[in-house]
Amino acid sequence: METVQALEVKELYCYKCHKTRKVKEFLGEQIKGVIRYWIYRLECGHIRTTRRNIPAMKLITIHLPPALIENIKLLVAMGRYASVAHFVRYAVRHLLWEEFRGIEKEKELIDYFVRRKIINKEALKDDQN
C-alpha cells in the first residue's frame, strides 16, 4: 500500500532554484507504464514531479451509477482527489477502517455485558446466602 500520500508531501527540492521549497499545491498524478508521477507546484512557481513506483495493486472492475461517477469526477475537477481511482481507493480504505473499528467496538460491548452478567450472578449468590 501507499506509504506517503501525494497531499502529505510538504517540501521538495527545486532543481531550478537549487533550494528546498515548500509545496504550494498538488496538481495531480500521471501514470506512464508502471511509474506514477506526482506533479506539484512549488512556492517559487516551478513545477516539480516525483516518481513513485506503483505498489502491487490488482485491477478490479465495478459498475457504478452514472450520478456517483459524475460526483466523483466533480471532486477530482475541484482538485480534492488526484483521480477517480484515488477517490475510490480512499473511499474503500476509509470504509474498511470504519468496519474494523465497528467490530472492535462490538467486541468491547460484548465483553462488557459478559462481565456484567458474571457480576450479577455473583450478586445473586450473595443474596441467597
Interaction site with Zn ion (CB under 5 A): 14, 16-17, 44, 46
Q: How far is the CB of 36 from Zn ion (least distance, A)?
A: 23
- Which residue's entry shows cell 460484548? 110
Are the CB atoms for 18 and 4 separated by under 8 Å?
no
When the beta carbons of 24 and 117 are compared against Zn ion, the nearer one is 24
- Which residue's entry shows cell 511509474? 35
Q: How far is the CB of 48 from Zn ion (least distance, A)?
A: 8
The β-bridge relationship of strands 11-14 and 47-53 is: unpaired
Q: How far is the CB of 21 from Zn ion (least distance, A)?
A: 6
When the beta carbons of 20 and 120 are compared against Zn ion, the nearer one is 20
